[in-house]
Amino acid sequence: MSYNPNPLYAAPEDWRAYSGVLSRRVFAFILDYVIVALLCIPAAIVLFFLSIVTLGLGFFLYPALFVIVAGIYFGLTVGGPSQASLGMRAMGIAIVRVDGRPMDFMTAMVHLALFWILNSVLTPLILLAGLFIERSRLVHDLLVGTATVRTA
């Protein structure tokens, strides 16, 4: 069991915890995907040597490399004790579950997968939903049962 000096599990009721969250989410998204793109470089090198060891079978993973790296990155950071990726930490936000339980790896992965699926179908509307839904939640937040709150 690890020590977390600032456990933030339940979604607060105070409206100030949700003010400015949408714009912070956009900037956190940009930072996180720059980080994921940079993490793809060493992952590609490791995958190259793994492909040599597996006699070329590893080369079939190159088309999915970004998805794999992003999934592991978000699963470990958002599903970790801080409940926020590095971009979210820089913007002072975190993802919390509405039921009060801490985020885990699988919930973070489902959150990411739903974000990608819904973003590919409802591209501009996914952010517009946050303007009208309580707590500035997006559609995938409603489906997973999460909310994004300010930590600072």
For residue 132, being part of any structural domain is answered with no
78 domain-assigned: yes
| Contact predicate 141/14, CB 8 Å | no
Q: Which domain holds residue 73?
A: 22-122
Up-side HSE of residue 117: CA atoms within 13 Å toward CB?
A: 10
Question: Which pLDDT belongs to residue 58?
Answer: 93
- Max avg pLDDT among 4-13, 37-46, 123-132: 37-46
The answer to whether the CB of 102 falls within 8 A of the CB of 84 is no
Is residue 84 a part of any domain in this protein?
A: yes
CB atoms within 10 A of CB 115: 19
pLDDT category, 3, cuts 50, 70, 90? very low
* In-domain check, residue 32: yes
In a domain, 70, yes or no: yes
Q: How many domains does the chain have?
A: 1
